[in-house]
Chain A
Amino acid sequence: MAQAIGTTSAIPRATRSAKWRALLREMWKHRVDYLFISPFFVVFLVFGVYPTLWGLRLSLSRWPGGQKPMEWVGLNNYIGLLTSDPLLGKAFVNTMMLLGWILPTGLAFALVVAVMLNARRLRGRGIFRTIYFLPFVTSGVIVAIVFSQFLDKNYGWVNLLLGKVGIPPVPWLTEAIPAQISVTLLLHWMGSGTNILIFLGALQAIDRELYEAAEIDGANAVQTFFRITVPMLRPVLLFMIITATIGLINLYAQVKLLTNGGPQNNTYTMFMRMIDLIAGNRFGEGAALGFIMGAIILVITFIQLRVLRSWWTVEGNLKG
């Protein structure tokens, strides 16, 4: 039996090692190519892979940093964060609420504006799209500074304008729901321009003949919008939903400086929890939180993909 295996594999082994030698020769011939792409891989191994693996070990330990020894605690960091960390639970709920505010309003707004900018005989399209894209250059810090003045209860522009139409001053930054709306408004102002541009690019790539055919068939504007425009934008829509979700889970600077997570932690974000754990030298829990946030992003993205796909197939079946 053993002999039989030995004899049958003897010939392939010889050719296999010859193949290996040829491959190595080929790779050596391309050493300059490998050199040119090596910076990414070196940096990724040192600053990406290594900290992730070490972070896995760290997340199972208690370690206050410095020269102190790492103390193995098993899954306690994860259990503690998930079951008895009131701030993290609050941060998770806040993020989900923000996601609920931002995704529908932001995408609908950007899509409507992009459709308007795509109107066939519009003049000055270039100027409008440049202006909407301008907030791209601002930083989270500066936007937070400007908006904290804008939304100031007594001295802000928003309440001044609301007062002109008889609405009493709104405590934008000091009450739960208004504060969440404030964060939403800030993120819309910062990010809508990019979304409008991406939508506009996708719209302009749609074949005009599709619309003309629909017009001949007697479809009205609403029908063409939902039957042609929206389906053609699916890949872009998916890309935006996923980027927006990741962006929200990593949200920090804007909220830190606008509301500092308040009032009563109602705008506290998951990334704030991470920074606070670092500031408190609770590195084991911080590392664990990183993996928890990674898992949350993964799960949410997966759910979004499933939901969107099922909507699309249902819709497809209805259309026949």
Chain B
Amino acid sequence: MATLAPASPVRPSKRARSPRQVIGYGLLYIFLTILAIIFLFPFYSMVVGSLMPKEELFRSYPQLWPPNGPQFTAYRLLLQIATPEEVAASGLQNINNYNFVRYIFNTLLIAGVAVALQVFFNTLAGYTFAKRNFPFKNQLFSVILATLLLPAAINFVPFYLLVAGTFGWKDTYWPFWIPSLATAFGIFLMRQFIASTVPDELIDSATIDGASQFQIVTRIVMPIMAGGMVVLGILTFVAVYNEYILTNLIISKPDLRTVQLFLANFKQATIRAPLYDLLFAGSVMATIPLLILFFVFQRKLVEGVMSGAIKG
């Protein structure tokens, strides 16, 4: 109400502000800042917790800063570079079952291949739906959109049985790569990006020059709409990197675990007295790759979500 004083239709100059407006904006900044602290705090407490030995966590937690200074024992244990004394003091039965580097590598492998496949095949299909004309194009695209409305729960059990039983993909990474080779959401997103960024004239002139459809996609379309591919790539990467439900059913060999599966198993195994130092150190290391991606591409991501094209 303060901002809508019964004023003249002409806006006053930007400098002139009534006292009520100043107070209003002051309160706004305070509220938004408190909210920002609430959103950031879990990240911060995760880092602080990972730097405290577990005895300290249960004696004096919560702390804003480790009372005896930061200690990196939990990180050294998970990275397999701890001293024998530290391993003995940690109480962990078999330190080889906490090989975090291996789990990070597995997770990056799964997510990296999934991103490459999905971005490539969705771009091919997205280009075809955006720029080509062929019989049944609209009907086929409607089918793709309709599948977006199918909840995954409907065929989850038979899907699992097909993948793990019939195809024999238990303890392999194929279930994360093949069934989502091309996705309805990805095709839709790529079609939107290509339709709005790639001019028809470029494609026409390349066709006249004798380029094949495949060359047009790889040499002309992909370089122009690389930004769109990045957005799809990040969304895919985050989703696959953080996947837990299917991973938990498919992967049972400890060496093949992803970071999410490792952390979840570890949390459940120590449910009565969680080893929060190790859990937090693992969570911090698992989140770092995603945070880097987020900050490098945050503008593109934020704008993508704001445009409403993307559901989180």
CB distance from B73 to the nearest CB of A (A): 18
A194 at the interface (CB under 8 A from B): yes
Whether B263 pairs with A121 at a CB distance below 8 angstroms is no
Q: Report the minimum CB–CB distance from A23 to chain B (whole Å).
A: 6
A149 close to B134 (CB less than 8 A): no
Q: Check: A229 CB closer than 8 A to any chain B CB.
A: no
Question: Nearest chain-A residue to B8 (Cβ)?
Answer: A216
CA A51 to CA B311, docked complex, whole Å: 26
In chain A, what residue has the closest Cβ to B132? A33
A107 interface contact, C-beta 8 A: no
Q: Name the distance in Å between B140's Cβ and chain A's nearest Cβ.
A: 7
User: Complex formed: what's the CA distance from A243 to B148 in Å?
Assistant: 11
A-B contact sample (19 more), CB < 8 A, given A150-B45, A189-B42: A27-B135, A33-B128, A37-B187, A39-B124, A39-B182, A43-B179, A47-B178, A116-B31, A128-B35, A136-B238, A136-B294, A145-B279, A157-B41, A189-B39, A198-B306, A252-B245, A275-B248, A286-B156, A287-B158
CA distance A65 to B165 in the complex (A): 9
> A223 CA to B249 CA in the complex, in Å?
52
Contact with B along A270-314 (1 / 0, CB 8 A): 110011011000010011011101100100000000000000000
Q: Give the Cβ gap from A132 to chain B, nearest Cβ, in Å.
A: 5
Query: A residues within 8 A CB of B28?
Result: 116, 119, 122
Contact between B58 and A149 (Cβ–Cβ < 8 Å)?
Answer: no
Say how far B302's CB is from chain A's closest CB, in angstroms: 6
Say which size band chain A's interface belongs to: 35 or more
7 A-B residue pairings within 8 Å (CB atoms):
A51-B161, A194-B311, A236-B308, A250-B151, A275-B249, A290-B153, A294-B153
Contacts of B9 in A (CB 8 A): 212, 215-216
Is A222 in the interface zone, CB < 8 Å from B?
A: yes
Q: How would residues 266 to 307 of chain B score, 1 for a CB under 8 Å from any chain A CB and 0 otherwise?
A: 011001001010011001001100110110001001100111
Question: How many angstroms between the C-alpha atoms of A127 and B302 in the bound complex?
Answer: 11
Contacts A128-B32, A278-B160 hold; do A157 and B264 have CB atoms under 8 A apart? no
Which A residues are closer than 8 A to B by beta carbons? 23, 26-27, 30, 32-34, 36-37, 39-41, 43-44, 46-48, 50-52, 54-55, 58, 65, 113, 116-117, 119-122, 126-150, 155-157, 160, 189, 191, 193-195, 197-198, 200-202, 204, 212, 215-216, 218-222, 224, 236, 239, 243, 246, 249-250, 252-253, 256-257, 260, 270-271, 274-275, 277-278, 283, 286-287, 289-291, 293-294, 297
A198/B305 in contact, CB under 8 A: yes
Q: Which of B211-243 contact A (CB under 8 A)?
A: 212-214, 217, 238, 241-242
Q: Is the CB of B46 within 8 A of A146?
A: yes
B83 within 8 A of A: no
Q: Which residue of B lies closest to A145 (CB)?
A: B279
Collect the chain A residues with CB atoms within 8 Å of residue B155's CB: 48, 51-52, 55, 290
Do A33 and B268 have beta carbons less than 8 Å apart? no
Partner of A55, one of B127, B158, B238: B158
CB distance B135 to A149 under 8 Å? no
In the bound complex, CA of A300 to CA of B291 (Å): 36
Q: With A139-B242, A278-B249 as known contacts, state yes or no: A283 contacts B263, CB within 8 Å.
A: no
In the complex, what's the smallest C-beta–C-beta distance from B168 to chain A, in angstroms?
Answer: 13
Chain A contacts for B158, CB-based, 8 A: 51-52, 54-55, 58, 287, 290
**Given A43-B182, A257-B267, A275-B245, A297 contacting B279 (CB threshold 8 A):** no
Please tell me if the beta carbons of A137 and B263 are within 8 angstroms of each other in the complex: no
- Residues on B with C-beta less than 8 A from A250 are 151-153
Q: List A contacts of B248 (CB < 8 A).
A: 275
Return the chain A residue nearest B153 by Cβ: A293
Q: Is the pair B159, A51 in contact by a Cβ cutoff of 8 Å?
A: yes
Which residues of the other chain, B, contact A44 by a CB distance below 8 angstroms?
147
- A residues less than 8 Å from B242 (CB atoms): 138-141
Given A130-B302, A136-B312, also A40-B267 (CB < 8 A): no
Contact B4 A220 (CB under 8 A): yes
Contacts of A200 in B (CB 8 A): 306
Are B124 and A36 touching (Cβ within 8 A)? yes
Contact of A121 among B14, B35, B160, B286 (CB under 8 A): B14
Quote the shortest CB–CB distance from B310 to chain A (angstroms).
Answer: 9
